[in-house]
Amino acid sequence: MNPAPAPEEEPLILDAAASTPAPPEPLGMGEVLRIPLLRRLWYAQIVSVFGDFLALFAVIGILTFKLHATAQQITGVQIAYMLPIAGLGVMAGVFVDRWPVKTTMVSSDSIRAGLVLLLLFATQIWHYYAILAAISIVSSFFNPAQGVAIRSAVPLHGLRSANALMTQVLFGMRIVGPAVAALMVSTFGANSCYLLDSVSFLGSALLIISIPFIKKAASPKSPPKPAEPGGSALGKIWLDMKQGIDFIIHHAALLFVILAMAAGMFVIGCFGPLIAVYVRDSLHASNSVFGLASAMIGLGMLIGINGLNILGKRLSNTLLVYSGLCGIAIGLIILTLLPHVWSTMLGNLIVGFSVAAIIVPAQTLFQQATPPELIGRVGSTFMSIVFAAQISGLVLSGILTQHIGVRQVFALCAVLLLILMAAGKLWMEPKAETAPA
């Protein structure tokens, strides 16, 4: 009788466990905000996003309640803004990975400050289309550059809080922006919103100029990119674009989250711009109710982003995404069945809360999984997919609303979300063993 093997195995197991380093504790929003670079980026985000929402809701309000634009014309404004990002985003990421980050961001803000002033002279719908499209072209370079800056400034275990903090600005301004825009348009006219938006871009540029950026470092795990001495410039751009696309395709968890977010944004594309038409035709209410209803979406997002940043640490990205898609469907069902002001506020609040459960996990996984030298390309491809999904929703919503009505479009979107959730569970969800460590 020899009990020797048992005590020999136990020390080996204990040694192996002891040699495995514990993962660092995730950083909170307050800790992340102490990073100087991120803090100034956060200030710049607050200034520029506030101005953007003023201008956007001023345009939508003018078209809806003064020019009495159709649903297709209103969605056309949204499409004009998103189409360049969807089309040029993948290519823009190639240049962002090569250009200096600070120069790219400051130049983008300065150019957009001038372009916004052109809205002062817009008198016809196609004028708004052209100006917003021009602003969007410049934004397709700014957004991935901002992602590069955040990734270079924040450690991996702080990215979730950093993304929550930056997204919180977007959601918070969605609360303040519509109400302030409606007040400014009715009191001072839409031009006041455009002027303030231009000033906000200049303020953002000045803040970014004061930031000491960290140079991008190549990932040690990534093999060096082979040189193409005989290739043309377009050929090299295509190879860079393909490298970012291939990374997404071969990363199962990232691909699933991007597709799920695209599905949610497709429905948001149908939902977002039709709220103004819903308020006008179904509730028979005024521009102020539209501003309040839109603000409830932002309030829901703000509540969701703070709650999920605390409680979501114990939840997987996949579960958060499924919960978000389900919540959006519930909000749309409320809007479909209960055409009242109070139910509209409740439905929009639920939709906003649920959107937060999709956006933050997707952004965090993208930044954690992507090598630093591919952040621009992968991020811009991510944006292109999401904006293309929103554009598809915008196009279909404008067409369907003319034939079946706004409430019926909301009902179709809710059904589509439930179908996509089932399809994701069956086919798109990655296996546990394929997820990267």
pLDDT tens, 331-387? 889 988 888 888 888 988 888 888 877 777 777 776 777 776 677 777 777 777 777
Residue 429: what pLDDT? 56
Tokens 């006008």, residue?
280
pLDDT tens, 290-316? 777 777 877 787 787 777 766 666 676
Asked whether residue 71 carries a pLDDT value surpassing 80, the answer given is: no
Residue 390: what pLDDT? 74
Residue 437: what pLDDT? 44
Give the helix ranges, DSSP H, for 97-226: 101-116, 125-153, 159-187, 190-209
Q: Which residue ranges form the domains of the chain, and what is each CATH number? A: 32-211+232-434 (1.20.1250.20)
Tokens 């200096």, residue?
100
DSSP assignment of 400-413: HHHHH-HHHHHHHH
Q: Which residues of 203-239 are buried (b: 16+ CB within 10 A; e: fewer)?
A: bbbebbeebebeebeeeeeeeeeeeeeeeeeeeeeee
Tokens 């002001």, residue?
341
Note the pTM of the prediction, 2 decimals. 0.66
Asked whether residue 251 carries a pLDDT value surpassing 60, the answer given is: yes
Sign, CA dihedral 416-418-420-422, equals negative
Hey, what amino acid is at 119?
L
Residue 16: what pLDDT? 41
Is-contact 385 262, C-beta < 8 A?
yes
φ and ψ at 272, to 5 degrees? -55, -65
Residue 12: what pLDDT? 41
Asked whether residue 101 carries a pLDDT value surpassing 50, the answer given is: yes
User: Mean pLDDT of all residues in the chain?
Assistant: 74
Q: What band does 222 get if pLDDT is binned at 50, 70 and 90? A: very low
Is-contact 165 35, C-beta < 8 A?
no
Is-contact 263 270, C-beta < 8 A?
no
Q: How far apart are the first and last CA of the chain?
A: 43
Residue 66: what pLDDT? 73
Residue 58 structure tokens: 């001023």
Residue 7: what pLDDT? 47
Distance between CA 177 and CA 183 in Å, rounded? 10
Hey, what amino acid is at 363?
Q
Other CB atoms within 10 A of residue 367 CB: 22
Collapsed DSSP state (helix, strand, coil) of residue 97: coil
Is-contact 214 153, C-beta < 8 A?
yes
CA separation, residue 139 to residues 9, 10, 37, 212, 416 (Å): 59, 58, 21, 22, 30
Residue 202: what pLDDT? 92
Distance between CA 243 and CA 94 in Å, rounded? 10
